[in-house]
Structure 1
Amino acid sequence: MLILDKPYVSEFLEDTILELNLPVLKNKAAKEFKLNEDINFLEEKEFVNKVKNEESLIYSNSENPINWITNHLSFTDLPEKIDIFKDKYQFRKLLRDMYPDFYFRKVSFDELDQIDINEVKIPFIIKPSVGFFSMGVYQVNSALEWEKVRGELKKEVNNMKDNYPEEVINTNEFIIEENIEGKEFAIDLYYNDEGKPVILNILEHIFSSGEDVNDRVYITSKKIIEKYHNSFLDFLNEMGALINLNGFPMHIEFRVDNDENIVPIEVNPMRFAGWCTTDVAYHAYGINVYEYFFKQKEPNWEKILKIKKDKIYSIVVADLPNDINVNDIIEINYDKFSSYFENTLEMRKIDYNKYGVFAFLFAETSYDNWGELETILKSDLREYLKFKH
């Protein structure tokens, strides 16, 4: 069963829903998406009764329905699981015994001006305790830098309050935690009916610099899966022993340092990679993550990778520069953007006026053409924008 909501439903997800005849909650967002009328839509009461009377797997493409789940599915353990993972402070408390030396604390938005920076372990990351993407996330490397970051953070909070519900981004409370050095990874997985974690994809989040926290490029490849799959699986088994996660999908982010130590950053419950970018697993490995979850299938990674080309598969988030006014944009040169890449697999146009992103693009790149991704990672993308002036 699915609960769909904004910001985005891909054609791939819609086609999968039809193919598998999956029931979908008939909510306001599902109507606004103007999805295929052949989808098995259930009215609210019918959906809730189906969950009550049957053992149902539930997936959401977004975290917007969290409040609905809390209010209507309180007879399940979903609200409890969601609360632990969605609140980054609660998540850190859950893992305290696994990471006893990890520094973290909670502060309110109103307390930002009163923080004694000398009492904080520097460098540190500050972010909304309940957040989405890299919104409101800042790295602070010195007391002097904190003064600048604090102003930028307060400005960003005021700008993003209207775009997402409080269940997705709560700008009233923040978590400060020690900076985790190393490579960053994001994993789409589910725990099956027996509580066993099943990894569906591993994405490496690459950055333009040590200070960069943007979501511009994520990559996956045969090499990444082969190197990290078993290490992440060990952690997921250990976390699964702390809380009952049977039948639960999630998107979890990690840092891995030079000594291969794994430290989780956060968990996004009930969904895989946001904005349906999880669909890249199909382009890269032929894995339909929705089908694998609902049918409780496990990838045969050895078989998949044995015949897999040694290429890089990427998600490129075409976000607009922060210093431009979207009203000054006349048009986006989508053809030029798409043709920049060695092999564009799919490009999805996005309403940049509303979300500050003009496209999500999936690409296939040869390892000897790595510079293609480095360039797009550092670009402000202005060359694809046409302005009034």
Structure 2
Amino acid sequence: MIILDHPYVSEFLKDTAAEMQIPVLKNEMAAEISSKKKLRLLEEAEFIELIKEKGECPLYSNSENSLGWISENLGFTGLPAKIELFKNKIKFRELLERIYPDFYFQGVEFEKLDEIRVEEIKKPFIIKPVVGFFSLGVHKVSTDEEWGSVLQRINTEVEEIKGRYPVQVLDTGKFIIEENIEGEEFAVDAYFNRAGKPVVLNIFKHIFSSENDVSDRVYFTSKAVIENYRETVEDLLKEIGKLAGLKNFPLHIELRIGNDRRIQPIEVNPMRFAGWCTTDIAYFAYGINTYRYFLEQLEPNWNRLLEGKEEKSFCLVMLNRPIDLDLNKIKAFDYEKLLSDFEKPLELRKADHEMYGFFGYMFTETRDSSWGEIERILKSDLKEYITFK
């Protein structure tokens, strides 16, 4: 079963829901899609009753905007408690204390951030909303002297982004300060099947332009990434699954892996895979329809799927604007020029920057010999594609 909701549903997901004729909750977004794609829509009461009849069944939501509805209507499934366990980063850290007893974190009300005695906190540390999304409001603090400017940026961001997403998705009323997790960063789309076994559907490596960069500009997946890290990730998921009692549960987990192979979760996003349907890159890269794999409880045959994928990467390029760029001064974004700067763009998905604060995203297939195109866009402020008023 599936819930489709704002802000975005990809054509790929729409087609999947229509082809599978999977039961879809009838809401504003689903009704709009069904006028063109002929979904199998169920009224709220029917949808809830069917879940009761099925008992434990796979339920997927493309957007965290639907978490409020799940909390209000599906309490009998146990899902709201599990969602809260992951969406609330303080509860998540408390859950993991049995695995990581020495990990430092504390919660702070937004109004009290300026009262923090920053000199008493070990650095570097990360500060972010307790309930967050898309790296919004996330900052790294490496020295006492940086705290003033970080606090100023947080205040500016909170003013700009509050109201853009429901509080179940992004709540800037409370922040968490936690120790910086060392190592390379990864994001994983996975699900727990009906027996509680974790199934990895994709692993992205998240790369940054600098030491203090915490943006979402570039993620990529490749044969080497999957082969090098899948077993390590599966071992961690098994531990989390045991602690939280997860079955028929999709998630998107962000984590870091150190040079010593020690793995540490950053956060878990419940009920969905990579946001804004960016999980679709698994289909472009490996032919994996992540929605179908979860709903039909399929497992990838990685040996077969990775054949012929040597010396190339499949990249997700987020077209996020620099923090200091005033959205009101932007006239247009030159998507055609952007596409021309890449050897093999696979798909471009545009977004209304005035409404969502970024320009969209793109999938690319990039040969190792052409990696320079990714390094260039990673460091770009995108102003070469922007026309100003």
Alpha-carbon distance between aligned partners in 1 of 2:321 and 2:374, rounded to the nearest angstrom: 17
Give the structure 1 partner of residue 348 of structure 2.
347
Query: Do 1:14 and 1:35's aligned partners in 2 also have CA atoms closer than 8 Å?
Result: no
Alpha-carbon distance between aligned partners in 2 of 1:174 and 1:331, rounded to the nearest angstrom: 34
Give the structure 2 partner of residue 20 of structure 1.
20
Q: TM-score, normalised by structure 1?
A: 0.97
| Counterpart amino acid of residue 121 in structure 1 | K
Please state whether the residue corresponding to 1:358 is helix, strand or coil.
strand
Query: Do 1:103 and 1:121's aligned partners in 2 also have CA atoms closer than 8 Å?
Result: no
Of the structure 1 ranges 176-185 and 304-313, higher mean CA displacement relative to structure 2 is found in 304-313
Query: Do 1:126 and 1:175's aligned partners in 2 also have CA atoms closer than 8 Å?
Result: yes
1:128-171 CA distance string (max 9 Å, x none): 01100100000001111111111111121111111011100111
Give the structure 2 partner of residue 52 of structure 1.
52
Alpha-carbon distance between aligned partners in 2 of 1:38 and 1:371, rounded to the nearest angstrom: 43
Alpha-carbon distance between aligned partners in 1 of 2:136 and 2:35, rounded to the nearest angstrom: 29
How far is 1:46 from its partner?
1.0
Measured on the aligned residues, the alpha-carbon RMSD in Å equals 1.3
Give the structure 1 partner of residue 207 of structure 2.
206
Q: Cα–Cα, structure 1 residues 361 and 301, in superposed 2: closer, same or farther, change >3 Å?
A: same
Give the structure 1 partner of residue 291 of structure 2.
290
Alpha-carbon distance between aligned partners in 2 of 1:82 and 1:35, rounded to the nearest angstrom: 31
Instruction: Point out 4+ residue stretches in structure 1 off by more than 4 angstroms.
Output: 32-35
Give the structure 2 partner of residue 248 of structure 1.
249
| Counterpart amino acid of residue 308 in structure 2 | I
Q: Say yes or no: does 1:238 pair with 2:239.
A: yes
How far is 1:327 from its partner?
3.4
Structure 1 unaligned regions, length at least 5? none
How far is 1:34 from its partner?
6.5
Alpha-carbon distance between aligned partners in 2 of 1:35 and 1:198, rounded to the nearest angstrom: 34
How far is 1:226 from its partner?
0.5
1:46-83 CA distance string (max 9 Å, x none): 11111111133110001111111111001111001101
Query: Do 1:329 and 1:387's aligned partners in 2 also have CA atoms closer than 8 Å?
Result: yes
Query: Do 2:14 and 2:37's aligned partners in 1 also have CA atoms closer than 8 Å?
Result: no
Query: Do 2:187 and 2:205's aligned partners in 1 also have CA atoms closer than 8 Å?
Result: yes
Percent identity over the alignment? 54
Alpha-carbon distance between aligned partners in 2 of 1:312 and 1:327, rounded to the nearest angstrom: 35
Alpha-carbon distance between aligned partners in 1 of 2:116 and 2:327, rounded to the nearest angstrom: 34
Q: TM-score, normalised by structure 2?
A: 0.97
Query: Do 2:346 and 2:364's aligned partners in 1 also have CA atoms closer than 8 Å?
Result: yes
How far is 1:32 from its partner?
4.9
Query: Do 2:18 and 2:37's aligned partners in 1 also have CA atoms closer than 8 Å?
Result: no
Give the structure 2 partner of residue 94 of structure 1.
95
1:15-65 CA distance string (max 9 Å, x none): 000111111111123345565351011111111111111133110001111
1:163-206 CA distance string (max 9 Å, x none): 01110011111111000121100000000000000000000011
Q: Say yes or no: does 1:134 pair with 2:172.
A: no
Q: Say yes or no: does 1:149 pair with 2:150.
A: yes
Count of matched residue pairs: 388
How far is 1:300 from its partner?
0.7
| Counterpart amino acid of residue 52 in structure 1 | K
